[in-house]
Amino acid sequence: MKLELKKYLYDIKESIDSIDHYLNGKRDFNLYQSDKMLRRAVEREFEIIGEAMNRIDKIDPSLDISSKKQIISMRNRVIHGYDKIDDEIIWGTIIRHLPKLKKEVETFLEYKSSD
């Protein structure tokens, strides 16, 4: 695996870990929605995740990561449609999709670290 690809996978993992840290183990949508700084921090991490995924897709489009196109699309919405960000969609992504993405990325990093 190219070093550049590993870097982007690592960036995704770091952003997911940061989101987990920001939430401090509290899976409380009302708390998330009421804290503007928390929302902005999470949105920024989604920008990083989406940009890293976009770069991964350009380097190796065959890399099988579930929801790759949706992740890139979310990044575009967060950046370009900042005034139309839906907190419920962001929250749903945190709860339903980030754990799976984290596992996939960690698997790629572990598997490919032996290359």
Neighbours of 9 (CB within 10 A): 23
- List the structure tokens of 103: 């596992």
Catalytic residue among 21, 44, 80, 96: 80
pTM for this prediction: 0.89
Is 59 within 8 Å of 4 (Cβ atoms)? yes
Is 107's pLDDT higher than 60?
A: yes
Q: Which of 89, 88, 54, 96 is nearest to 71 (CA)?
A: 54
User: Does residue 21 have an active-site annotation?
Assistant: no
- pLDDT tens column, 88-105: 999 999 999 999 999 999
**Encoded amino acid at 8, one letter:** Y
Catalytic residue among 27, 40, 44, 75: 75
Domain locations in the chain as residue ranges: 3-112
Q: Cα-flanking dihedrals φ and ψ of residue 34, to 5°?
A: -85, -5
- pLDDT tens column, 37-74: 999 999 999 999 999 999 999 999 999 898 888 898 88
Is 114's pLDDT higher than 70?
A: no
